[in-house]
Structure 1
């Protein structure tokens, strides 16, 4: 296997896929983690319902009334809209309960290595072991089940941004496209930058001037709705009611789950839950004097903009909207900080990916390590 190299801040190159070590779990640990992820997902859906019912979009930084209405409509019609996957990031040290750090429900990556690479690694290195990993089969089955929700006779486009310099988005989209084709769907690859707008028909088109009727996009909703063609994306949004012309996957209601404000809403609805960390939107509150806190921008990827604050210092309220979550330092193993990525497919627990970082924040310099079940 050829391992991609990541350029570190000091200019050195290090393999992203790292099999110099691996993580081993007991079956009971994995079963408990599966139960935790299933419960967390249901709690997140309850929080989304609460946000829509109480019209709390402003807490998520969504102040455009039209966009809020479209998200609410997407939520109400969610059974009519394809929704494939997501990834919980968890703090887990093998001793206490797993703690939810965030939910990457719109554009999660590190899928290829979690689904395929570590499975083949296990078959080569530990053929008698097991692994929490049913991702590939579940993804194929998901596309089969959700095929009737797609516009008939139209190819399913798979889009990533050409601005992705690391190639991670490209690999993720290519892999998801492969699972869709194994499910019998007709697909077509495209970059987001090459999706055009045909003024005559009032529709999005690809390079062949074919209508983009359905599109899986590894492109955050907050970018899509604010880009040059954002108004057209909203004008033609198909929320399952048959009034739009483009069906986007993941659907717009996933914006409710991929926003860090979700963490504060969860703590409000389920205070003291063993798998949650205290989180607030108006400031760190008691966390500043106590355990400390992480200030997280409501939107962001790969740890961008996250700052950590030790307890006992003066609270710092940032100018930009943030979620202030109790500081829960990642467990360290041989000087490496580890975070668990627990995957869900169609809302069901489906697998585990593990990333290590040298620093306290899991960022684009993190490495992926495989795991086995003892």
Structure 2
């Protein structure tokens, strides 16, 4: 495919600033990329979309944000037993109850099929940096390169404004001003996660806060004291840590000691503020879709039409959905462990079968017909993504739309990014 082999492809993405235009699977044991299995990720192509479609996706995203906020508020009021029944790990309960800040940012994945009329959210991803730069920055560069219009012009001003408001809120919790705080940005040490965090950290310029960018292995814990950047022993006041909480509760130090108890105490005693960590994890379990279905349209009042139109029927029992459904682990990520059933027969399974995911409880959603897009005579499955960012006024603003394409019916972490332009 020319879009993956074009002679200008490498230079195009380097000029854009996208270092992860090729990606590699991660070795489960070492946590390092398997370079010999590297595959192309970015497509040297810009898919033309209408301004009306982009406006509609953003309008739907903003409307969904209101439903998501109400659901987030409901979940935070649940007792331990109810939270456990929704799949929250027991060790996560205290921190998610303690963090009353609305999450900073999340990506919604959509089945946006204009042909069939299916326009439903299939995932809420609140603890991942993936696909952020691409939607908000990369599309702008690609659209200009291919003589098309920027689909996300609002993002240029919105991201730094919203980021600074998050810092103000976090600093207030510590009894400090932003310019008195050291702000850390960290994620897993791979080119995509760290590249995205570098991009996000650049939006802090001009706010006079000290900022540090470093991979997760350089984050140290001093019990009852704080979190530190270990290379120069700098204490972190505010941390943007894009790392799954359900993984963090199992992490151990080099001596095999669990790290979670110490981290939990630092969070609870407000020795450090972790943005979008515990608060974002409230929205991570797929059982929230089941909860939205169970709460029903009447509960959401003026947002009932949004629930009806954009949220698929979901249950924690397959028989409540019927003979055709898509099943996914409650804490699933990147399509791992997912499978589709049509008329009681297995239709398709995801490529990932990691026991961490397949051993979890599952949720079951209406089986949706994902749209396809033809690129150079290749018909590919399309998954649309859109971003919601906390505007600092207890609301979510729509900030960015993007497109992922896959050769198979289930989008995973090795699917392609296809830039879009108006």
Structure 1 and Structure 2 fold alike (TM over 0.5): yes
1-structure distance, mates of 2:267, 2:118: 40
1-structure distance, mates of 2:55, 2:85: 34
Matched, 1:230 2:260: yes
1-structure distance, mates of 2:209, 2:296: 40
Matched, 1:360 2:387: no
Q: What per-residue deviation string (whole Å, max 9, x for no partner) do you get for residues 51-75 of structure 1? A: 23333211332252x632331231x
Query: Would you say the 8 A contact 2:328–2:364 is kept in 1?
Result: yes
- Within the candidate set 169, 180, 187, 1:160 is matched to 187
- Within the candidate set 255, 264, 273, 2:290 is matched to 264
Displacement of 1:307: 1.5
Query: Would you say the 8 A contact 2:239–2:272 is kept in 1?
Result: yes
2-structure distance, mates of 1:40, 1:146: 21
1-structure distance, mates of 2:112, 2:264: 39
1:287 maps to 321
2:227 maps to 204
Change (3 A) 1:6 1:205: closer
SS in 1 for 2:68: helix
- Within the candidate set 111, 124, 135, 1:103 is matched to 124
Displacement of 1:237: 0.4
SS in 2 for 1:236: helix
Give matches, 1:1-374, under 5 Å.
1-2=12-13, 4-6=21-23, 14-27=39-52, 29-55=53-79, 56-64=82-90, 67-74=92-99, 77-78=100-101, 83-95=103-115, 96-126=117-147, 129-151=149-171, 152=176, 153-162=180-189, 164=190, 167-181=191-205, 183-199=207-223, 202-207=225-230, 208-228=232-252, 229-238=259-268, 243-270=269-296, 273-281=308-316, 283-289=317-323, 292-313=324-345, 320-334=360-374, 335-346=379-390, 347-373=396-422
Displacement of 1:231: 0.7
2-structure distance, mates of 1:121, 1:183: 29
Displacement of 1:88: 0.4
SS in 1 for 2:294: helix
2-structure distance, mates of 1:150, 1:25: 39
Query: Would you say the 8 A contact 2:340–2:346 is kept in 1?
Result: no
2:256 maps to none
TM-score normalised to structure 2 length: 0.77
Query: Would you say the 8 A contact 1:88–1:104 is kept in 2?
Result: yes
Q: What per-residue deviation string (whole Å, max 9, x for no partner) do you get for residues 198-223 of structure 1? A: 24x63222121222221101111112
User: How many equivalent residue pairs?
Assistant: 352
2-structure distance, mates of 1:314, 1:22: 32
Q: What per-residue deviation string (whole Å, max 9, x for no partner) do you get for residues 179-207 of structure 1? A: 123554321012222211224x6322212
Please, which runs of 5 or more residues in structure 1 have no aligned partner?
Answer: none
TM-score normalised to structure 1 length: 0.86
Displacement of 1:311: 2.2
2-structure distance, mates of 1:225, 1:181: 33
Change (3 A) 1:20 1:70: closer
Q: What per-residue deviation string (whole Å, max 9, x for no partner) do you get for residues 298-323 of structure 1? A: 113211121222223499xx752111
SS in 2 for 1:273: helix
Query: Would you say the 8 A contact 1:158–1:177 is kept in 2?
Result: yes
Displacement of 1:38: 1.3
Displacement of 1:365: 1.5
Q: What value does the CA root-mean-square deviation take over the aligned residues?
A: 2.6
Displacement of 1:149: 2.2
Query: Would you say the 8 A contact 1:181–1:187 is kept in 2?
Result: no
